């Protein structure tokens, strides 16, 4: 019902009379007023005029109703929202285990135990950023699981660029970057059996409206950024999420039907790592060299000072001058 009222506002782009709403939705004028108040409680600014009716002045920066209206594909067909949760990835893994369908999306306004790569914590201040996990049931081999992270990185970078105009880049293996600072990250977890991948959960964290000096610990303030800080104003999480889900829908189909090449070509085009001199910390080992390429499994190919090529499956990359 709330989504129907929003659609009427969007279609009319001006005042909509309470009588028209009542007739279209089959409820009383008092019922319309009650739902207008509910929308206001969700952050919608709605003007009321005795003679003209109601007019939508401004939508909140995040709205489940509008998100569900915008998303049309298989990915996002079902969206589950939590005001607060431990981790969207943990919740999505539990839902997938219980049979949640392909494309189910879990979104939270806040995470108490946000998960980063290598067991790290993902800082998750409330009502400001994107904390989202997507359940996939991919028809690919287990050894190709890394392709899901590559696919997600491309989708997120392109979704951010299309919704904000900012130039987003990908730092191997799973970081989203803007202006050489970390904007977000991707964490892929999965369950497999001898027949292949049963399901995968792609966790996506993107700093949208955070203020780094206020919201992040001192040790990451200098290396992190947000879309708000880059553009100087609050951004709509609704439209950024919608664009990312749209890109996920597209690039997932590319992965399944077009093979690796178009996906890898796009990843390389968006990469901030390839061609750069880097330091890679992989466990207790540290390597320096030039990041030359990634192989078909997503491993980084590093040319060492000796000229030898070294393949690295995971690690932390630091750009060197």
From residue 147, how far is each of 49, 200, 251, 256, 308 by CA, in Å?
Answer: 54, 11, 11, 10, 26
Measured distance CA(52)–CA(18) in Å, rounded: 8
Measured distance CA(31)–CA(19) in Å, rounded: 11
User: pLDDT (tens digit, 9 = 90+) per residue, 212-269?
Assistant: 878 888 878 888 999 999 999 999 999 999 999 999 999 999 999 977 899 999 999 9
User: pLDDT (tens digit, 9 = 90+) per residue, 19-47?
Assistant: 999 999 999 999 999 999 999 999 999 99
pLDDT of residue 139: 86
| Biggest distance spanned by C-alpha atoms of the chain | 80
Q: Which domains does the chain have, with CATH numbers?
A: 2-58 (1.10.10.10), 64-270 (3.30.930.10), 277-319 (2.30.30.100)
pLDDT tops 80 at residue 173: yes
């Amino acid at each position: 019902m709330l989504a129907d009222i929003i659609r009427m506002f969007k279609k009319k782009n001006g005042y909509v009379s309470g009588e028209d709403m009542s007739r279209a939705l089959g409820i009383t004028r008092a019922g319309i007023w009650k739902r207008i108040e509910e929308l206001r409680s969700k952050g919608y600014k709605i003007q009321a005029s005795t003679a003209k009716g109601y007019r939508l002045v401004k939508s909140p920066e995040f709205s489940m109703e509008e998100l569900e209206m915008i998303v049309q594909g298989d990915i996002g067909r079902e969206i589950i929202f939590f005001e607060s949760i431990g981790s969207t990835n943990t919740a999505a893994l539990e839902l997938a285990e219980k049979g949640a369908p392909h494309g189910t999306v879990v979104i939270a306004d806040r995470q108490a135990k946000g998960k980063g790569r290598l067991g790290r914590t993902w800082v998750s201040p409330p009502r400001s950023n994107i904390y989202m996990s997507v359940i996939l049931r991919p028809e690919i081999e287990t050894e190709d699981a890394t392709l899901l992270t590559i696919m997600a990185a491309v989708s997120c970078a392109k979704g951010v660029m299309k919704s904000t105009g900012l130039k987003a880049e990908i730092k191997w293996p799973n970081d989203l970057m803007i202006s050489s600072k970390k904007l977000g990250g991707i964490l892929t977890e999965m369950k497999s059996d001898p027949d292949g991948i049963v399901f995968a959960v792609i966790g996506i964290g993107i700093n949208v409206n955070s203020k780094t000096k206020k919201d992040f610990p001192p040790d990451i303030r200098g290396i992190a950024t947000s879309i708000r800080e880059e553009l100087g104003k609050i951004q709509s999480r609704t439209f950024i999420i919608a664009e990312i889900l749209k890109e996920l829908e597209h690039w997932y189909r590319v992965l399944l039907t077009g093979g690796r090449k178009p996906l890898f070509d796009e990843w390389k085009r968006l990469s901030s790592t390839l061609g750069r001199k880097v330091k890679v910390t992989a466990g207790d080992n540290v390597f320096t060299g030039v990041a030359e390429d990634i192989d078909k499994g997503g491993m980084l190919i590093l040319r060492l000072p000796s000229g030898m090529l070294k393949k690295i499956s995971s690690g932390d990359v630091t750009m060197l001058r």
